[in-house]
Amino acid sequence: MQVATGKSILNGIAIGPLRIYKKEETETTVTSGLTPEEEYTRFEAARVKAQEQLGELYDKALDEVGEENAAIFEIHQMMLEDEDYLDAVKSIIETQNATAEYATETTGENFSAAFAAMEDAYMRARAADVKDISRRVVNILSGREDADMLSDQPAILVADDLTPSETVQLDKTKLLGFITRHGSSNSHTAILARTMNIPALVGVDFSDDWDGKLAVIDGYNSCVYIEPAPELLTTMEEKRSNDLKQEALLQNLKKKPNVTLDGREIKVYANIGNAGDVGLVLQNDAQGIGLFRSEFIYLDSEDFPTEDQQFLLYKRVVETMAGKKVIIRTLDIGADKQAGYFGLDKEENPALGYRAIRICLTQKKIFKTQLRAILRAGAFGTVSIMFPMIISVREVRDAKEVLEECKAELRERGVAMGEVEIGIMIETPAAVMMADELAEEVEFFSLGTNDLTQYTLAIDRQNPKLDNFYDSHHPAVLRMIKHTVEAGHRHGCWVGICGELGADQTLTETFLRMGLDELSVSPAAILPLRKKIRGLDLSKEPET
Ligand code: PEP
Ligand code: MG
């Protein structure tokens, strides 16, 4: 058995034979007997045909992966209208008396190299797109057709790279998963794979002798096993069959409203820790993301993530969610979540210490970098900002003031940003007791029951010795939740839960009766919770 690692695009398992696909590379003739005008006319005709093909691909993608994701083909159409690109082709034809094929191919390579060298990760990912459109035009010009990437047998496709158009065109009934040597998890190909629920790994250094061998993509652990050992294969098959059971449940419940038998509706959102989890959110058909724990971006970094780095990650999540709500919690670092480069002091009581909003309001530069990134991502979908560990009205006002400063800075820079909804986490008893006043400041509350239990019961959630005492069903905790919902509603705020308690099905009925508007849970808990909600009847007396 051989194991190779890469970057996982989707948490899932694929099992099957590997099929290595190599693109046909034909020599392009550099010159012909035609005049430059005739060559440019040929290019122009091929370009028009390519635009038509891209229009058809857009329609196909629209059906399969939705408007936001299909938009890549509109971007491709725009690239084929880009004046710099067209001028470059023309100039090569004229100055070198070149064929349209040669001029297009060379322009594609030059532009691709220029994109690849850019600092900005989003622009770097465009290198593949410009190559893709150029190859399309060259194929039309030379009558060349790319060979079928998959044979009749379902397989895991292995290729140096996959373009977005190749990914959409692949026959999904034959595609078990894919592995590429190049490509970023930020590319549109990755977004499409995630949206289509295809387990995939990028950045895998594969060798040609893998062709035809049995393999397992383990998207949960970002690796591929070639000729897996029998025991491992059995484990993976079980994992895969669990995934399938989950999917079957999903098929049943997908797109059905989260409504009780007597018609009470509640939103079911997902909690995520990083951008890569968004595939799971879609797989489980969450209505939105109720908690994006942004601090994991910081914990995954060696140094403070820049505004652009964060923007790209948030944008990826927001774009993939295609208009559904994404609630990004601002940095909740400190206590159990430590990153060395913050240089935080060791504290006697870290859970009660310098953490979350307290750091952000003290080290404003860090806070503002994140807020600008979130505001910019807001231009690509529906984004909410949520401040953690709030204990007072003053903190919320200060945070909102910093947010306004960030908006002004972006306006000055002429950068697009979106309207963002503002909310806070209710995870301290102080916030519960101040809920009426706090609700006047924000549009929503999300109860962080993990910390709320810790602070209400004075029990360190990190201390395993106290597990028996950490009672999240404690009446004090439940009363805090009820009080928060009532106060929120009195002042027009919607109220949800994003702590672990939201997924506790023994409390689902209680939560619905309390009037909670949303429950945000881990992706795997969404479908079971949805099933539970749809089986409840609140018109009946509660069971005791
Ligand atoms: C919570 O405290 O309930 C919560 C959702 O935040 P975290 O678990 O990240 O502290
Ligand atoms: Mg918390």
223 is catalytic: no
What is the Cα–Cα distance from 444 to 385, expressed in whole angstroms?
10
Residue 466: per-residue pLDDT: 83
- Find the 345 Cα to ligand 2 centroid distance in Å: 20
Residue 13: per-residue pLDDT: 95
Q: Are 287 and 494 in contact (CB under 8 A)?
A: no
- Atom number of ligand 1 nearest to Cα 271: 5
- Atom number of ligand 1 nearest to Cα 446: 5
- Find the 509 Cα to ligand 2 centroid distance in Å: 23
Q: Are 287 and 519 in contact (CB under 8 A)?
A: no
Give the tokens for residue 108: 């594609």
Query: Which residue's CA is minimally distant from atom 8 of ligand 1?
Result: 450
Residue 284: per-residue pLDDT: 82
Identify residue 217 by its one-letter amino acid code. Answer: I
Give the tokens for residue 240: 């895969």
Residue 300: per-residue pLDDT: 80
Q: What is the pLDDT along the chain (544 residues), one digit of tens a residue?
A: 999 999 888 878 999 999 998 877 777 888 888 899 999 999 999 999 999 999 988 888 887 777 777 888 888 999 999 888 898 899 889 888 899 999 999 999 888 888 877 777 777 778 888 888 998 999 899 887 766 676 778 999 998 888 777 777 777 778 899 999 887 665 667 767 776 778 999 889 999 999 999 999 999 999 999 999 999 999 999 999 998 887 787 778 877 899 999 999 999 999 998 787 787 788 788 999 999 999 989 988 889 999 999 999 998 888 888 889 999 999 999 877 888 899 888 888 889 999 999 999 999 999 999 999 999 999 988 999 999 999 999 999 999 999 999 999 999 999 999 999 999 999 999 999 999 999 999 999 999 999 999 999 999 887 777 888 888 899 999 999 999 999 999 999 999 999 999 999 999 999 999 999 999 998 878 988 999 999 999 999 886 6
- Atom number of ligand 1 nearest to Cα 498: 5
- Find the 452 Cα to ligand 1 centroid distance in Å: 8
Q: Quote the Cα angle for 108-111-117, to 5°.
A: 135
Question: Which protein residues touch ligand 1 with a CB less than 6 Å away?
Answer: 291, 293, 332, 427, 448-451, 498-499
The C-alpha R_g of the chain, in whole angstroms, comes to 26
3-state secondary structure 492-517: CCEEEECCHHHHCHHHHHHHHHHCCC
Task: For a ligand 1 pocket test, name from 427, 449, 452, 455 the mutation site with the most ligand atoms within 8 angstroms of its C-beta.
Answer: 427
- Atom number of ligand 1 nearest to Cα 295: 9
Buried residues in 509-537 as b, exposed as e (16+ CB within 10 A): bebbebebbbbbbbbebbbbbbebbeebe
What is the SS3 assignment for 441? coil
463: alpha, beta or left, given left = phi > 0 and alpha = psi -120 to 50? beta
Sheet holding 13-21, edge to edge: 2-5, 223-226, 214-218, 13-21, 155-159, 175-180, 200-202, 7-8
Task: For a ligand 1 pocket test, name from 333, 450, 460 the mutation site with the most ligand atoms within 8 angstroms of its C-beta.
Answer: 450
- Atom number of ligand 1 nearest to Cα 500: 3
What is the Cα–Cα distance from 507 to 493, expressed in whole angstroms?
22
Q: What is the number of other CB atoms lying within 10 angstroms of the CB of residue 425? A: 26
Give the tokens for residue 375: 């505001």
Which residue in the list 360, 406, 493, 498 is annotated as catalytic?
498
3-state secondary structure 358-415: HHHHHCHHHHHHHHHHHHHHHHHCEEEEEECCCCCHHHHHHHHHHHHHHHHHHHHHCC
Identify residue 343 by its one-letter amino acid code. Answer: G
- Find the 447 Cα to ligand 1 centroid distance in Å: 9
Instruction: For the chain, count helices (H), then strands (E).
Output: 20, 16
- Find the 26 Cα to ligand 2 centroid distance in Å: 58
What is the SS3 assignment for 539? coil
Q: Give the ligand at the shortest distance from the Cα of 501.
A: 1
Task: For a ligand 1 pocket test, name from 332, 460, 480, 481 the mutation site with the most ligand atoms within 8 angstroms of its C-beta.
Answer: 332
What is the Cα–Cα distance from 3 to 8, expressed in whole angstroms?
14
DSSP per residue, 230-299 = HHHHHHHHHHHHHHHHHHHHHHHHTT---B-TT--B-EEEEEESSGGGHHHHHHTT-SEEEEEETHHHHH
Query: Which residue's CA is minimally distant from atom 1 of ligand 1?
Result: 448
- Atom number of ligand 1 nearest to Cα 335: 10
Which residue in the list 76, 188, 360, 493 is annotated as catalytic?
188
Q: Are 287 and 267 in contact (CB under 8 A)?
A: yes
What is the Cα–Cα distance from 469 to 134, expressed in whole angstroms?
64
Query: Which residue's CA is minimally distant from atom 10 of ligand 1?
Result: 451
Residue 286: per-residue pLDDT: 92
Residue 283: per-residue pLDDT: 74
Note the maximum CA span of the chain: 90
Strand-strand pairing, 325-329 and 420-426: unpaired
- Find the 451 Cα to ligand 2 centroid distance in Å: 5
498 is catalytic: yes
3-state secondary structure 116-179: HCCCCHHHHHHHHHHHHHHHHHHHHHHCCCCCCCCCCCCEEEEECCCCHHHHHHCCCCCEEEEE
Global pTM reads 0.65
- Find the 267 Cα to ligand 1 centroid distance in Å: 19
- Find the 418 Cα to ligand 2 centroid distance in Å: 26
- Atom number of ligand 1 nearest to Cα 449: 3
Query: Which residue's CA is minimally distant from atom 4 of ligand 1?
Result: 448
- Find the 96 Cα to ligand 1 centroid distance in Å: 63
Task: For a ligand 1 pocket test, name from 327, 425, 447, 470 the mutation site with the most ligand atoms within 8 angstroms of its C-beta.
Answer: 425
Query: Which residue's CA is minimally distant from atom 9 of ligand 1?
Result: 293
Query: Which residue's CA is minimally distant from atom 3 of ligand 1?
Result: 448
Q: What is the number of other CB atoms lying within 10 angstroms of the CB of residue 417? A: 18
